[in-house]
Amino acid sequence: MPSTHRYVADWNPEKFLNWADTIGDYCKTFITLLLAKRQHPEQSYKSCAGVLGLAKKVGNNRLDNACKRALDYERINYQSVKSILEKGLDAIQEETNTESNIPKHTNIRGGNYCK
């Protein structure tokens, strides 16, 4: 192997999973799915290194939040995480309002109407 490529010789799935574990649980789950996405894990190494390398630029907490958002969107690739970080979507909390905002009104029939 040429000297410029020897640094990838020690790359393996465990290395990336251990690295992701130091960042956070969502990041580790994201990297696990990214490695499983390809038939051969070696095809995902560059994407894994890219995602994990983003921690140097934005910090572990932001990267973990971005991985959580990408997992929620089911977008398991480098570009989705990068885009989430660039747009600042990792800092936005999604509303989990399960209550409907139906106004109280006399024309609205209740649940007993169709019995």
Reported confidence tier of residue 113, pLDDT bands at 50, 70, 90: confident
pLDDT at 102: 66
pLDDT at 16: 93
Burial classification of residue 35, based on how many CB atoms lie within 10 Å of its CB (0-12 exposed, 13-18 middle, 19 or more buried): buried
Burial classification of residue 51, based on how many CB atoms lie within 10 Å of its CB (0-12 exposed, 13-18 middle, 19 or more buried): buried
Q: Which amino acid is at 3?
A: S
pLDDT digits (tens, 9 = 90+) for 64-108: 999 999 999 999 999 999 999 999 988 887 665 566 676 677 777
- pTM of the full structure: 0.75
- Is residue 33 pLDDT above 60, yes or no? yes
Burial classification of residue 98, based on how many CB atoms lie within 10 Å of its CB (0-12 exposed, 13-18 middle, 19 or more buried): exposed
